[in-house]
Amino acid sequence: AQRVTQPEKLLSVFKGAPVELKCNYSYSGSPELFWYVQYSRQRLQLLLRHISRESIKGFTADLNKGETSFHLKKPFAQEEDSAMYYCALRAAGGYQKVTFGTGTKLQVIP
């Protein structure tokens, strides 16, 4: 079975402060990890995926297989980063369903 844990329901940071949204997963095989974001009154959208090793809107995430983590980080939070963030996992190889975490609401205080 695969499981995604996001321990924080709410994370409040001041503008300009570093951000780290935690994500831990449980899966015995080779996973693919994703971060999705939902801004207020907008639909859920993909932010980044670990296989791309990219930085989107200043956010990065590194897959740590030893700690089974995929934390989302940004060095300097912006007000427009306020949103709901979901970590998600899919087993690698072919079609596999996506399992989402419960989400963390990021609130950036001006």
Which residues form the interface with other proteins (CB under 8 A)?
4, 9, 32, 43-46, 51, 86, 88, 90, 92-103
Question: Which residues are CB-neighbours of 36 under 8 A, at least 6 positions away?
Answer: 44, 45, 46, 47, 85, 86, 87, 88, 100
Q: Which is nearer to other proteins, 73 or 100 (CB)?
A: 100
Q: Closest separation between CB of residue 76 and other proteins, Å? A: 27
Distances (CA, A) of 40 to 8, 37, 85, 95: 19, 10, 11, 30
Q: Closest approach of Cβ 107 to other proteins, in Å?
A: 16
Minimum CB distance to other proteins, residue 69 (Å): 17
A 10 A CB-CB count for 86 gives 22
Cβ proximity to other proteins: between 3 and 17 the closer is 3
**Residue 78 or residue 96: which is nearer to other proteins going by CB?**
96
